[in-house]
Amino acid sequence: MRLQQYLKEGPEDADPETEQMLSDFIEMFIEDGFKKKEDHYRKIYKETFGREYQPVKEFIPKPSLDKVYSKDDFKRYQDYISYSEKLYILKFSTYKGLATTSYSNPEITWNQTVDWLSGLEVAAKLGNPRGTEGAWVTNDKEVTFKKSYEKNKVSKELLIHEMGHILDHKLNDISLRSNGDLFLHNMKATNYDMNPAEIFADSFMTYFIYPKYLKAGWKEVYAFFEKKIPGKWKKAVKELLKMK
Ligand SMILES: [Zn+2]
């Protein structure tokens, strides 16, 4: 039964099909944030069925390491995000014992930073930060650092994270694509952000700093970086971690 026809003919024709249709409308307006339309259809629903509309039962499975769900298993994107967050917390608590490292001296000078990046054909620039960021990347050729880094030391972790963004750009922003899915979202190895580009960059850093942790908890992410990071980069990062 079509909605227009239903609205003309009224409640006596109410049936499961109509209920489904009205429910879909209400859900759609909730998602789009059209409160007036949502309330309008809630009213029709109540008049028709003599009860308030109850939302579709949320599908947020209890996270388990035995069965991992993907984006396609969820009707609502928000449920998928909630699930991803919970799964991350479970994985982190399970594998955090492996997030240990023996590398020392986590900061290098500005000159060392410039030299190290130039070895990878990346320019180090100084600029005014966007918001609170310490460094940022807009293409695959340069990293811009806030001006104070010229005098202060640069954290190796920050530097590796920014190289993650460079790799992402070199792979045509793969973090945002991969068949319309949000790459690395459901297998996020970091709680840094829910932005796939940041998850990508931070997971890239985890690959080098906490490899055992990444390999145990996020096999697909580890395998992805193992395959995609050029050999030259792997060698350079290992040298960076030893640098004093
Ligand atoms: Zn970043």
Q: How far is the centre of ligand 1, averaged over its atoms, from the C-alpha of 22 (Å)?
A: 43
Q: How far is the centre of ligand 1, averaged over its atoms, from the C-alpha of 90 (Å)?
A: 24
Check pLDDT > 90 for residue 41: yes
Residues 203 and 220: their CA atoms lie apart, in Å, by: 11
What pLDDT shows up at residue 45?
A: 92
Check pLDDT > 50 for residue 180: no
Q: How far is the centre of ligand 1, averaged over its atoms, from the C-alpha of 159 (Å)?
A: 10
Q: Which residues surround ligand 1, an ion (CB under 5 A)?
A: 198, 201
What pLDDT shows up at residue 182?
A: 46
The pTM of this model reads 0.73
- Strands in the chain per DSSP E: 107-108, 123-127, 135-137, 142-146, 154-155
Find tokens 């579709």 and name the residue: 56
What pLDDT shows up at residue 240?
A: 95
Q: How far is the centre of ligand 1, averaged over its atoms, from the C-alpha of 86 (Å)?
A: 22
Backbone angles phi, psi at 125, to 5 degrees: -120, 165
Q: How far is the centre of ligand 1, averaged over its atoms, from the C-alpha of 99 (Å)?
A: 20
Residues 229, 164: contact at Cβ < 8 Å?
no
Query: What is the pLDDT of the chain when averaged over all its residues?
Result: 84
What percent of the chain is predicted at pLDDT more than 90? 43
pLDDT tens, 83-104? 888 888 899 899 999 988 777 7
Q: How far is the centre of ligand 1, averaged over its atoms, from the C-alpha of 126 (Å)?
A: 16
Q: How far is the centre of ligand 1, averaged over its atoms, from the C-alpha of 1 (Å)?
A: 51
Q: How far is the centre of ligand 1, averaged over its atoms, from the C-alpha of 158 (Å)?
A: 8
Backbone angles phi, psi at 5, to 5 degrees: -65, -45
Strand, helix or coil for residue 137: strand
Across 180-205, average pLDDT: 70
The C-alpha angle 215, 177, 96, rounded to 5 degrees, equals 25
